[in-house]
Amino acid sequence: MVSKPVAPNDSAPDLVDFGIFQLSSLAINDDLRQDLKQLVASKPYPLLIIGEEGAGKHTLAKCLAASYLCHSVESDGSACGTCPSCRMISASGAHLDLVILDPGPSGRIKVDEVRSEVAARLFEAPRISHNKVFIISAEKADTLSEACQNALLKPLEEHPAFVRFIIFCEDSDRLLPTIRSRVQTLRPAHRNNKEIRQILDEAGIEDSPAKNFALDCSDGLPGVALTLAQDERYRQIYDESLRIFKAFPRENRTAFLTGGLDFFKANKDSTDMIIRLLQSFLRELSLGLLADKWEGLPAESAAFTDKELAEWAKLEIDYEALLGLLSETKRALSSNTGYDHTISRLLLQMRSKIAAGGTASDPRTRQ
Ligand SMILES: [Zn+2]
C-alpha cells in the first residue's frame, strides 16, 4: 500500500478527471479567485471546502491539489500545466504525491483507510513534487464517521510542512468540533448565470431544452447544471413530471401517491431534476398568475396553457409554502433520510396543499 498512486478506477469519476485542473480555467467570481490564490500561497493549514451538492467542491479540490503539486505555480495560483507534476496529473488524474480518500460505492470511508492511507503515510517524503496532498471526502452525513474523524485529528494537528489537506463536505455541522477547529474553511459562492453558461459551454454542451433548464434551475451550482444539462432523459422526465404535477389537484389520493412514488423510484437517479422541475412549474404558475397572462414568457418554456392557468388560478395555493416544502425535501434526501418515506411525505403534503384550494372533486383513476 506504500505510495500507491491513486488508480482512476478507485475514485469517483469527478475526482479523477483532471482534464481541466487549472484554477484560472474555473468560471468563478473575483472574490473566490482571490481566496484561492491566497490559499495556494499561504502556509499549509488544512482546508475545509463547504458547499451543497453540485457546488463544485470536487473541482475546486482537484484544481487546488494540482496547484499545490505544481513545480512552477503561476502568479494567479494556477498550476502551470506543463511541469512533470502537471503532466502526471493531466495524463491519468493520479499523482504519486496525491492521496484521495473517497468512499466509493459503499458511501463510507473506513477507519482503517484513514490509518493506512493518511496517518501511516503522513511522514513519507513527496516523490516528485515538493508537496504532498491528501483530498478527503466528508461529503455526506456518514461518509466520514466519528471514528474516522478522530483518526484524522492527529494528522491534521501534526504533519510535515510539505503536507496539504483538502477536506470537503456539504454540511460542516456534521463534523466534530475538534475537526472544525483545526481547519480553515472555504465556501464557494453560487455562480451567476453567465458563469454557469461558461461552464456548460466549456463542457461542450450544445444548446437544448435541457441546457436552458440547467441555466434557469441549477441555483448557480455548477455540478447541478452539468448534470441537468447532460441528462439524456430530460425530455421524458420533464413530460412525466409535468403530467404528475398537473394531476395534483384532481387525482385520487391513493392512485396519486402510488403513481407518483413509482415515478420517483423508477427515476431515482434523477430525483434532483424532478424536484427542480416541480419547483420550476410552481414558479411558472405563480409568475403567470401574477402577470395574469403568459405574455412575456417565451412560449417554448410555458408548461401550462391559458386554460390550465385559469383553472389553477381558482385554487388558492400558497406557492411559497410549496417551494419551501420542495427545498426541505432536497435537504432531507441529502441527509440520507429514507427515500420512499421522504417522497411519499412530499407527494401527500403537496397534494393536500394544492387540493386544499377546493377542487379535489374530480377523482379519477390512473390509466
Ligand atoms: Zn505545473
CA distance 119 to 131: 16
The total number of structural domains that make up the chain:
2
CA of 62 to the centre of ligand 1 (A): 13
Give me the pLDDT at residue 20, please.
Answer: 62
What's the gap in Å between 28 CA and the centre of ligand 1?
Answer: 21
Considering the domain architecture, whether residues 340 and 263 belong to the same structural domain is answered as: yes
Q: Are residues 104 and 172 in the same domain?
A: yes
**CA 211 – CA 152 distance, rounded (Å):** 41
Cell for 219? 441555483
- List, edge to edge, every strand of the sheet that includes 98-101: 98-101, 132-137, 163-169, 47-50, 184-186
Check whether residue 249 and residue 341 sit in a common domain: yes
The answer as to whether 178 is a domain residue is yes
Indicate the pairing of strand 163-169 with strand 184-186: unpaired
248 and 326 share a domain?
yes
Q: What is the pLDDT of residues 219-245, one digit of tens each?
A: 899 989 999 999 889 999 999 999 999
**294 and 157 inside one domain:** no
Q: How many angstroms is it from 41 CA to the middle of ligand 1?
A: 15
Q: Which residues contact 145 (CB under 8 A, 6 or more apart)?
A: 108, 109, 111
Write down the pLDDT at residue 336: 67
Distance 292 CA to ligand 1 centre (A): 57
> Which domain, by its residues, includes 181?
8-189
Classify residue 222: in a domain, yes or no. Answer: no
Distance CA 290, CA 120 (A): 62
Low-confidence spans in the chain with pLDDT less than 50 = 1-19, 293-294, 358-367
CA of 26 to the centre of ligand 1 (A): 16
Q: Is residue 212 part of a domain?
A: no
pLDDT value of residue 356: 62
Q: How far is the CA of 82 from the centre of ligand 1 (A)?
A: 5
Distance of CA 80 from the midpoint of ligand 1 (Å): 4
Q: Are residues 327 and 178 in the same domain?
A: no
Same domain (yes/no): 318, 259:
yes
Give the model's pLDDT for residue 236: 93
Tell me, in angstroms, the distance from the centre of ligand 1 to residue 129's CA. 10
169 and 268 in a single domain? The answer is no
pLDDT value of position 104: 85
Residue 42: what pLDDT? 84
Tell me the per-residue pLDDT of 32-65, one tens digit each, with 9 for 90 and over.
889 999 999 887 789 999 998 888 898 899 999 9
Which helix (H) or strand (E) segment holds residue 186: the answer is strand 184-186
Residue 143 sits in the same domain as residue 267: no
